Amino acid sequence: MNEVNKNNLMLEVKNLKKSFGNREILKGISFSIKAGETVGIIGPSGCGKSTILKLLCNLIEPDGGEIIKYSNDISLVFQGSALLNSLTVKENLSLALRNKHLSKREEAEIIAEKLKLVGLSNFANSYPAQLSGGQQKRTSFARAIVIDPKIIFYDEPTTGLDPILSTIIEDYIITLSDQLRAAAIVVTHQLSTWTRTTDRLILLHAGEIKWQGKPQEALETADPYMRQFALSSRDGPILVG
Amino acid sequence: MTSIKTKSLNIIGYPIHSLENNLMGMFKHIGQVLIIYYYTLKFIFQGKIDYKETFKQSYMIGVKSFFVVSITALFTGFAMSLQISRELVLFGADTAIGGVVSLALIREIGPITAGVMVAGRVGSSIAAELTTMMITEQIDALKVMKINPIEYLVVPRYMAGILMMPILSIYAMAVGLIAGIIVAQVAANVQPATFLDSVQQTILDRDFEVHFLKSFINATIIIIFSCNIGLHTRGGAEDVGIATTRAVVWSMTGIFIANYIVTALTFIPR
């Protein structure tokens, strides 16, 4: 076991840089996450939150820096669910297990268990188009956890949802965090989501980390960036538009 | 003086710049097509073929195209036979009608008709489907699940295309031939037996080889071009329409160019 694994780390990001054309999105971001820890990445729109997730999932290449993942079992819950429309709920989950080479019986048992966890046992044979937005989101959760990931990312999991559904989704994140003991990143700008689901917060602005700390501290800090963001104030160093 | 010079340079510069952009775009597209085709063949030779999905795609690409191919081939056969019959009757060569019609059908019209119809129906559908999957992050979801989109999406469609296109082409040829027989009898009073006898004397085995070669190339062009456009389009709903149009234009242009090249390379005087 190396030194890093002794520290129970699951993910390390060192001096991560990314630009799109002349626009520098990330100017050297560094952070790490331990197993069982849920980190919230918050910040105004366009600050690079989703770009970090895409980099961590190898969907885009970084311009510089290093990403060290201590597990290959990684899942991402997409903002828009991203379910395959031509497949049923059950088939969508089965696809995530494709590389596990399980027997049909084992696969069916795992899928049934995960669908039960998100309350969708009766919708196994439904197509995404036949589900409501909330059910699609829950299916997306089930697909993400079907491999029992060691690292899980949530991209704006409650954006655009009504308050009740947001609470249900937040409860899932908390439940999954307890059950899976996975390292998790929740990218969000919903106050209730980051206060309820995260252990630690990172505030991004203009491609840099402006503040880090616990969610409780975020509401009381004198840091002008975090204070403006937490109070949803127009006055402060974060200029929008 | 300077402003006139700048204006003149702009007048010359703009078309050159535009041409440069178009050429660069074309070379980029061809490069992407070659990469996708390389990986598609690699997965096929590695035996990574989803047979269930290939069967499903064969139905979508092949079976669902039969009706539209039938109609097109029927009327193409009618028109062609009518033209040929009238001309050959003038020269007293009515017994050669079957041979000329069948030769045109097997060498050119069959593969082209099936290719154009499949490009319009299937190429557009593939480009629209894959572009929508790109825009709605379904392709990203596959990548996160460590599923290669070329293996999962392109290979079954390509397999279905190269299996179904020769069947559609030979079917288009047969329908065209039936149309030819009907018109030859009505317009030139050529009996079906005479028509078929002429067909038998004219068509050689290598005509079938050229026919199947063209079908295979057409399937490759339609599926790989359309998949490539789908997998490289980003944006919104408007881009789905643009991708669909591009897929049809690229596929049809590719079919006509490839058809000529194959004809030129395989043509041997009788």
What residues of chain A lie within 8 A of the CB of B145, using their CB? 95-96, 98-99
Chain-chain contact of A59 with B140 (C-beta, under 8 angstroms): yes
Q: Is B148 on the interface with A (CB under 8 A)?
A: no
Nearest CA to CA, how far is B217 from chain A (Å)? 28
The Cα A45–Cα B98 span in angstroms is 70
* B270 CB within 8 Å of a chain A CB: no
Using a CB–CB cutoff of 8 Å, tell me whether A133 touches chain B: no
Q: Are A178 and A15 in contact (CB under 8 A)?
A: no
Locate the domains of chain B by residue range.
50-266
When scoring B145, B147, B231 by the number of chain A Cβ atoms within 10 A, the one with the most, hence best to mutate, is: B145
CA distance B84 to chain A (A): 47
Q: Hey, is A87 helix, strand or coil?
A: coil
What percentage of chain A carries pLDDT values higher than 90? Answer: 56
Helix (H, G, I), strand (E, B) or coil at A237: coil
A76 → closest Cβ in B133, B138, B144: B144
Q: How many angstroms from the chain centroid is the CA of residue A202?
A: 13
**Residues 175-234, chain A, touching B (beta carbon < 8 A):** none
Q: Residue B88's closest CA among B76, B79, B97, B78?
A: B97
Asked if A87 has any chain B CB less than 8 Å from its own CB, the reply is: no
Q: What is the pLDDT of residues A139-162, one digit of tens each?
A: 998 999 999 999 999 999 888 778
- Count residue pairs from A and B with Cβ separation < 8 A: 42
The whole-number pLDDT of residue A169 equals 86
Average pLDDT, chain A: 89
Which residues on chain B are in Cβ contact (under 8 Å) with A91? none
Chain A contacts of B144, Cβ < 8 Å? 57, 59, 74-76
Q: Using alpha carbons, select from A188, A101, A104 the residue that is nearest to residue A153.
A: A188
CA B245 to chain A, closest CA, distance in angstroms equals 23
Per residue in A14-67, pLDDT tens?
999 999 988 999 999 999 999 999 999 998 888 888 899 999 999 999 999 999
Q: Which residue of A has its CA nearest to B148?
A: A99
Is B59 at the interface with chain A, CB within 8 A?
Answer: no
Segment (H or E) for A211: strand A208-213
As to burial, measured by CB atoms within 10 angstroms (0-12 exposed, 13-18 middle, 19+ buried), residue A129 is exposed
Contacts A127 to B, Cβ<8 Å: none
Of A80, A98, A143, the CB nearest to B147: A98
CB contact, 8 Å: B48 with chain A?
Answer: no
CA separation for the pair A151, A39 (Å, rounded): 11
Does the beta carbon of A84 lie under 8 angstroms from any beta carbon of chain B? Answer: yes
Task: Going from the first residue of chain B to its last (270 residues), give the mean pLDDT of each consecutive group of 10, the final group possibly shorter.
Answer: 62 75 85 96 96 94 92 93 88 87 90 92 95 94 96 97 94 93 90 92 90 95 96 88 94 94 83
Asked if B147 lies within 8 A of A82 by C-beta distance, the reply is no
Contact A99 B141 (CB under 8 A): no
Order of strands, edge to edge, in the sheet holding A38-42?
A74-77, A151-155, A183-187, A38-42, A200-205, A208-213
User: B150 near B32, Cβ under 8 Å?
Assistant: no
Interface probe with A: pick from B59, B133, B137, B144, most Cβ of A within 10 Å: B144
> pLDDT confidence of A5, banded at 50, 70, 90?
low
Residues A205 and A225: beta-carbon distance below 8 Å: yes
Please give the Cα distance from B202 to B207 (Å, whole number): 10
**How far does B54 lie from chain A, in Å, by closest CA?**
14
Mutate to test the interface with B, among A98, A136, A140 (most CBs of B within 10 A): A98
Residue A2 has pLDDT above 50, yes or no: no
| DSSP bridge pairs for A184 | A38, A152
CB distance B176 to B69 below 8 Å: no
| Token pair for B4 | 């006139």
Return the pLDDT at A230: 83
With 0-12 CB in 10 A as exposed, 13-18 as middle and 19+ as buried, what is B4? exposed
Q: What residue of B is the nearest CA neighbor of A58? A: B144
Which tens digit of pLDDT belongs to each residue from A177-191? 888 888 999 998 888
Q: Say yes or no for a CB contact (<8 Å) between A80 and B145.
A: no
Q: Best mutation site among A84, A87, A145 for testing chain B: the one with the most B CBs within 10 Å?
A: A84
Choose the mutation target among A95, A104, A148, A153 for the interface with B, i.e. most B CBs under 10 Å. Answer: A95
Which residues 6+ apart lie within 8 Å of A25 measured at CB? A18, A19, A48, A51, A207
Q: How far is B189 from chain A (nearest CA, A)?
A: 53
Determine the pLDDT at residue B47. Answer: 95
A41 phi and psi angles, rounded to 5 deg: -110, 115
Nearest C-alpha neighbor of A148 from the set A191, A202, A93, A197: A93
A152, closest residue in chain B (CA to CA): B144
* Structural domains of chain A, with CATH: 1-73+150-241 (3.40.50.300), 83-148 (no CATH)
Q: What percent of chain A has pLDDT over 70?
A: 97
